[in-house]
Each structure stands twice: as structure tokens, then as C-alpha cells.
Structure 1
Amino acid sequence: MMNNQGRRDVVTIALITAICLFGDSMLYVVLPIHWRDGGLTSLFEVGLLLSVNRFVRLPLNPFVTWLYQRISLRTGMAIAIVIAGITTAGYGLGKGFVAWLICRCLWGASWSLLRLGSYFSIVNSSTSVNRGYLMGMYNGLYRLGSLIGMLVGSFAVEKFGMRNVSLLFALLTVVAIPLVFRSSSSNTILNNQQRTPTLLGGIAENWKDKSWLLMLGSGMLLAYIYQGVLASTLSLTIQQNLPEGFLLLGVTIEASSLAGFLQALRWGWEPFVAPRIGFLSDGPRGRMPYFLISLVLAAILFWFIPSPLPRLLWFGVLLFVQLTATLLTTLMDAIASDMASARSNMGTMSTYSFLVDFGAALGPFLAFQLGDSLAYHGASLLLVILAVCWYKIRPQKKTL
């Protein structure tokens, strides 16, 4: 395992990321319901705003990779925190599509600094025997920010309004600044001698490596399904299935609050489940058996989300979908990190992050155009295709 200081650095980076996520995570369950409060005029604008921060990251990721060859992780994280605070305050102060568009673009820059800096740090600090565990620990801890943003944010907006909650989350972002100085990662994250090929250059160089190409495609499609389709449409899907809300102990729970609760359950168990699945995948069986089982299970569950099931069974489907999100995200990140480490350069992680952002950006936009049923059934078929493709190359890649 890595030394204690290195492990503390991963924890610190994860907590910084979590705090910066408060505002962004809140939007995914609140904005599809309360879009008029922000001065928006249609759900089309909602889908575009929930996607644009990811589209912005596409050209930014190569630049951020280059930047981290010249500045320290500490500096990059500090810049990201400042931007995150400004954008979260903007969700409360801004009105109209243009103001929201500027805020979401700025958040895309903040997330590029946070996510790529974290990837590079973990890959450089880990080995094949602890990489899955550390990636799982990072994913589990930083998603505590999504837990607070979705659960607390969704309930608070119902009581206090989006403006007040956004300003509170922006104020809390200041707490992340002292954490930056607790990290010992004051040197550059990337060695300047490490090659960082462009997206097209990396694909041209590795186009014969089926597992490398499949890894990139899988990361993109899983991000499209979970970060895009599921995260952006769940509150609307619940509202359509339960327009009167859900009565619990005499209290009616609105769709956005219920969606926040269901999605927040995932972030609550991730600090425990993600490191565990990462640890198991570091073992002699490798990552592939767990990955294949998770893909098949997810495909079955997504197919039934739009189905007219009994209420409790439908909730059970949604809960297990969130579990597969934890499993597949952790395992996919670990597989990508394995391939980046094997090539001794960060170009693989930069390309992987680029395509993950592309897939996540397409999710909200396409989901609101296709409709819930087609989007969820399409996701199910994509998961089946991924499972078949990985099963076919599995004998050639026993280390995965």
C-alpha cells in the first residue's frame, strides 16, 4: 500500500472535490423541476445547461494536462476552488439563460482542474496492488459532495428557494481553501518528460490495441448513461410516474426531493462500497469478472426503469441501478488507470477524461430529446453491447 502521507493526500484531494461539487450536484435534481425560478423558458434550456459544462471541458482537458506540467496540484486546486465558489453563487444571483450559461462554462473549467489533477495524482502515487482501492477511496469520498448537494440541496430548495441555498453552498466552498495547504503535493503532478499525446495522436498510436479503444469507448458510454441520462432525468421520471408525490408518514415528498434522496443513497454508501470493490479487483481474479457481472446487472435494471412496476419494486430497481453506478464507475476508472500506468504517460488519462466528458455531455441533451423510455432502453442495449465486447477480449487481457 502507499505511504500514509500519500494516502492522506488522496483523501484531501477527494474532500476538496466534494466541497466544490455541492452546487453542481444540487442542480441535477432541482433544475429540471424549478427551472422557472432561474429565469429559464424551457426544458430544452435545462438539458443544454446540464450538458454545456461538459462540452466546455472537451477543449479544456488537453490544456489542463499541459498546465499541470507547469503548476503544482496545490495551485490548480486553489484556482478550481475559487471558480467553483463563484459559479455556485451565480446559480443564486444569475437570472436568464445567458447568466446560467456563463456559470456552467466556468464550472466546467473548475471540474477539469479538479478531476484531472486527481487522476494524475492517483496514477503517479499507486501501484497495481492498490490502484483499485485508492481509486475507489477517491470516488467514494468525493461523492460525499454529491450526497450533500442532492439530498440537502433538494430538500432545502423546497423550503428556502434556489437563491438562498446556492449562496449558502458558495459560502461553504471557502472551507476547501485551508485543505489545499494540508496536501504535500507541492511539486508538479506530471513529469515534463512524460509524453502527453493529443486525442487524435493517442488514438492513431494505439488504434490496433482493441482493449485500449474499448476502454475509451466504455468510459464514454458509461458516463453518457450514468452521469448524463440517469442524473439529469431521474427527478423528471419520478415526477411523471408519481405526479402527486410520495406519501411517507403523512408527509408528501416532492419529486425533486425523492430523486435527491434516491441518488444521495449512492453517495452515502460509496465511501464503503467503492474502496471495497476496488480492493477486490486488485486481487488475483482481476477486475474483469466484477466488471462483466456489473454490466449485465445494469443492463437488466435499466430496461425496467420505464416499466409500469409496483411502486416498491420500482424503487428497488432504482436503488440497484445506483449500486451498479458505484461498481462500474470505480472499476472503469481503475481499468483506465491500469492502462495509463502501463504506458508510463498521462496521455491515456487525458484522452479517457476527454471522452468521459463527451459522453456525460451528450447524456442530458439526448435524454431530453429522446424521452425517458427510449433513453433508458437504449442505455440497456449499450450495456449489453459493452458486456459482449469485453467478454470477447477478456482472454487476451488476463491482467485486467
Structure 2
Amino acid sequence: MRNPLRSGVFAALALAFSSFGDAFLYPFLPVHYAEVGVPVVMVGLLLSINRLVRLAANSLMVHAFLQWKFRRLTILATLLAIVSTFAHGFIGNIVLWIFFRIVWGMAFATMRISSIQYALESPSKGMSVGLSRGIYEIGPMIALMIGPVIFNHAGAAATFAILGLLSLPGIFFAWQLPEMAQPETLSGSKLLGIPSSFDRLVFISAFVVEGILVVVIGYFLKDNMAMAAMLLAYRRLCLIFLSPLAGWLADRRGFEKIFNSSFFLMTFGVFGLALANSTATLVLAFTFIFTFNSVNAALAPYNAARADNRLKAVADNATWRDIGAAAGSLLGGSLLLLPDLTLIFLIIGAVMTSALVWHWQTLTIPIERFFKWK
């Protein structure tokens, strides 16, 4: 009998292996842009264009999945992602760089939606979604550990070639995926509409943590940059190890309880960050936020399983997360110019609290039963 988690795991492994080149590009390109023929003024564009592409690609892929098979598109996306990794080491033309970054953005959007869809096929949806997120996060972590070592010994071209070769198992895992049934038509609007109360929480979570905090953590800990780096590494480890646990808890205790409790505790951490008055309390606040954000982020796709059109719900959820992260990054850069961020994070905490209360009003679970765990 086939393991019910197998398809979700294989789809996540395809995405994890395919992400090596993109993950290494972020620390590599800002320093070694000249070595690969990129003008310094284009570095920011090349590192962000794939994220911008995803905003449109998430919705486009919904319609692509309706026209072609999930397995077929996942295999194609995996191939294109690996080709883009090889290309990073050998192209010296800025037009080709832009082209392959767009290719990567489209491929990532495809593989991400596919991995979530396969994970949601499992009867244990929470565990499957959490495990899928944790497995994917291992890919960038590996690339960030081995990429610099390879580069120091072999140079840029060889590094991306080796990362491309190491990505090839992704094709095997994509090829092993079973075909998945899909709806014949897409009900509702084809465009991204007004976010639901749930998607607002997803947007705010990405806006605050993946956007603002990742940018301004160095501001808060400017006297201890090593600690800032350790906290960012801790965030990645939380996403790897706590995501499956979050999914398991969601299956046992209920998705809404775990998701909303994690958002509430994350909000508590934001207020703590605003009121922190020492390095120790800052570290505690960041640890609190990153811990419960990993639970929150891992479970967000689970909500799509309850939608009338699961495929579109997955795409919309991913799009609002991408918009939140992008908008938060832009605002985070501006906040670095301010002398004090206490009021800003008090306002952010108040907005998070209001959004959570609003979402609670939409729940079918009576508020007095929400905190009953049995």
C-alpha cells in the first residue's frame, strides 16, 4: 500500500533540489556580480524579479494546471529550474539573466502550487502540508552551506554547474509523482479578488516577518550582528523542524486552533519587540516571533483544503503571501531611516490583533469553545 504522505514528500523534494541555484544567488550576486557579467545597478532587479513574476504566475498556473496535467507541469518546471541554475554560471548577457530569472519565478510558482496540491491529497493534510514545507526549506539551507565552500575552491561557473548537477535528483522525484485529478472548470473569478479574513492573516504574517523583520533585524541588533545572523538561521531551522510538528498538531487538535493560536502568540511577540529594552529581551522577542511564525506559515496552505476550488485557493493564498513579503521588504527598507521603531511595532501589533479578532468573527467555532483542546 502506498504511503499517503509519499506524493507530498516527493513534490517537496523536487522543489527543494531545484532551489539550490536560486538560494545561493542571494549571498553570491551582491558581492560577485562583475564575475558573472551583471552591472551593479541590475543586482537588485535580478534578485527581486522572480518574486514579482510569481505575483502573476500564481494565477496563471491555475489555468495551466487545468489545461495540462499536474505531473507533467511539475516535471517541466523542475527541468526549467535546473536549467536556470546551470545558466547562472555561464551567461554573461543581462537580457539572458533577466530571462532565466523570469523562468525561475515561473518554475517556482508551478512547483510550489504543485507541492501543496499533492500534500493536500493526503488524509493527514496537516502533517503532509507541514512535512512538505519543512522538506522544501532544507534545500536552500543546503545550498547556503555548500555553495560558498564550492565557490571558494572552484569559482562561479563551476559552482553553479555543480549545484545544477546536485539538483538533478529533483527530476527523479518529479517523475515519480502520480497523476492527480483536477477540476474540469474554474469556478468564480479568474482574477485575484479581495482577500478573505484568513488570507488577510497570511498577508499580514508575511508582511511583518518575511518582509519587515527580516530587513530590520540588523537595525535592532546593530551592536551584535552575529546574534542577528543566528536568529535568521534559527528561523530557517524552525521552518524545517517545527513545520511537520505544526501539521501533526493541526490534524489532532484542529487547524483553526493551531493556526490562530500561533498568530496570537506571534502578535504577542511583536508587542514584546516594541517594548524590548535590552539585547536579551530583543532576542527573546525575535525567538518568540520566529518560532510561532514557522507554525503559522507551514499551516497556511491547509485552509485551501476547505475551499470550493482548492487549486485557486492555493494560488490565491500563495499570492497574498508573496505580496505581503514584497510589500514588507519595501517598507522595511524605509523604516531603517527612522530613529526609533517602538511606535511602528505597537501599531503593527494592534493591526495584527484587529485582524485576528475580525477573523475570529468568521469562524464557525464558538469563541468560548475555541480554547477547549479536548
TM-score by length of 1: 0.76
Q: How does 1:103-118 map to 2 (within 5 A)?
A: 103-118=100-115
Q: Are the aligned partners of 2:215 and 2:329 in contact in 1 as well (CA < 8 Å)?
A: yes
Residue 298 of structure 2: aligned partner: 330
Give a deviation string over 1:235-271, Cα, whole Å, max 9, x none. Answer: x7699656xx85xxxxxxxx9xx84x65444444444
Q: How does 1:170-189 map to 2 (within 5 A)?
A: 170-183=164-177, 185-188=178-181
Q: Are the aligned partners of 1:51 and 1:363 in contact in 2 as well (CA < 8 Å)?
A: no
Unaligned runs of 5+ in 1: 204-211, 247-254
Code of the aligned partner of 1:349: V
Residue 191 of structure 2: aligned partner: 199
Give a deviation string over 1:187-212, Cα, whole Å, max 9, x none. Answer: 44x22145263225x54xxxxxxxx6
Structure 1 position 94, deviation (Å)? 3.4
Quick one: distance in 2 between partners of 1:40 and 1:280? 46
Residue 69 of structure 1: aligned partner: 66
Structure 1 position 233, deviation (Å)? 7.0
Quick one: distance in 2 between partners of 1:171 and 1:229? 35
Code of the aligned partner of 1:281: A
The answer on 1:394 being equivalent to 2:360 is yes
Residue 59 of structure 1: aligned partner: 56
Q: Return closer, same or farther for 1:288/1:19 CA change in 2, 3 Å cut-off.
A: closer
Q: Are the aligned partners of 2:16 and 2:136 in contact in 1 as well (CA < 8 Å)?
A: yes
Q: Return closer, same or farther for 1:223/1:45 CA change in 2, 3 Å cut-off.
A: farther
Give a deviation string over 1:341-393, Cα, whole Å, max 9, x none. Answer: 24244322222222222233334444445537689875774354123221244
Quick one: distance in 1 between partners of 2:150 and 2:339? 32
TM-score by length of 2: 0.80
Quick one: distance in 2 between partners of 1:223 and 1:280? 22
Residue 294 of structure 1: aligned partner: 265
Quick one: distance in 2 between partners of 1:308 and 1:161? 44
Q: Return closer, same or farther for 1:359/1:392 CA change in 2, 3 Å cut-off.
A: closer
Code of the aligned partner of 2:132: Y
Give a deviation string over 1:130-189, Cα, whole Å, max 9, x none. Answer: 322221111111111121123333555456544433222112121211122322x2244x
Q: Are the aligned partners of 2:66 and 2:183 in contact in 1 as well (CA < 8 Å)?
A: yes
Structure 1 position 58, deviation (Å)? 2.2
Structure 1 position 108, deviation (Å)? 0.5
- SS across alignment from 2:348: helix
Q: Return closer, same or farther for 1:269/1:217 CA change in 2, 3 Å cut-off.
A: closer
Q: How does 1:239-278 map to 2 (within 5 A)?
A: 241=223, 259=229, 262-278=231-247
Quick one: distance in 2 between partners of 1:19 and 1:373? 40
Unaligned runs of 5+ in 2: none
Match of 1:343 among 303, 308, 314: 308
Quick one: distance in 1 between partners of 2:265 and 2:271? 10
Structure 1 position 25, deviation (Å)? 1.9
Residues 63-72 or 277-286, more deviating: 277-286
Code of the aligned partner of 1:387: T
Give a deviation string over 1:27-62, Cα, whole Å, max 9, x none. Answer: 3344445445444554x6443333211211222222
Q: Are the aligned partners of 1:133 and 1:282 in contact in 2 as well (CA < 8 Å)?
A: yes
Q: Give the percent of matched residue pairs that are identical in Structure 1 and Structure 2.
A: 21
Q: How does 1:209-220 map to 2 (within 5 A)?
A: 213-220=196-203
Q: Return closer, same or farther for 1:287/1:263 CA change in 2, 3 Å cut-off.
A: same
User: What's the RMSD between the two structures over aligned residues?
Assistant: 3.6
Higher relative contact order (CA 8 A, sep 6+): 1
Quick one: distance in 2 between partners of 1:308 and 1:163? 47
Residue 139 of structure 1: aligned partner: 133
Structure 1 position 79, deviation (Å)? 0.9
Q: Are the aligned partners of 1:237 and 1:372 in contact in 2 as well (CA < 8 Å)?
A: no
Q: How does 1:302-321 map to 2 (within 5 A)?
A: 303=274, 309-310=278-279, 319-321=287-289
Q: Return closer, same or farther for 1:120/1:56 CA change in 2, 3 Å cut-off.
A: same
Quick one: distance in 1 between partners of 2:2 and 2:349? 38
Quick one: distance in 1 between partners of 2:271 and 2:205? 15
Code of the aligned partner of 1:347: K
Quick one: distance in 1 between partners of 2:93 and 2:38? 5
Q: Are the aligned partners of 1:220 and 1:356 in contact in 2 as well (CA < 8 Å)?
A: yes
Quick one: distance in 1 between partners of 2:327 and 2:164? 27
Residue 251 of structure 1: aligned partner: none
- SS across alignment from 2:183: coil
Code of the aligned partner of 2:314: M
Q: Are the aligned partners of 1:28 and 1:231 in contact in 2 as well (CA < 8 Å)?
A: no
- SS across alignment from 1:143: helix
Quick one: distance in 2 between partners of 1:105 and 1:198? 22
Aligned residues: 363
- SS across alignment from 2:315: helix
Quick one: distance in 2 between partners of 1:10 and 1:36? 40
Structure 1 position 230, deviation (Å)? 4.9
- SS across alignment from 2:184: coil
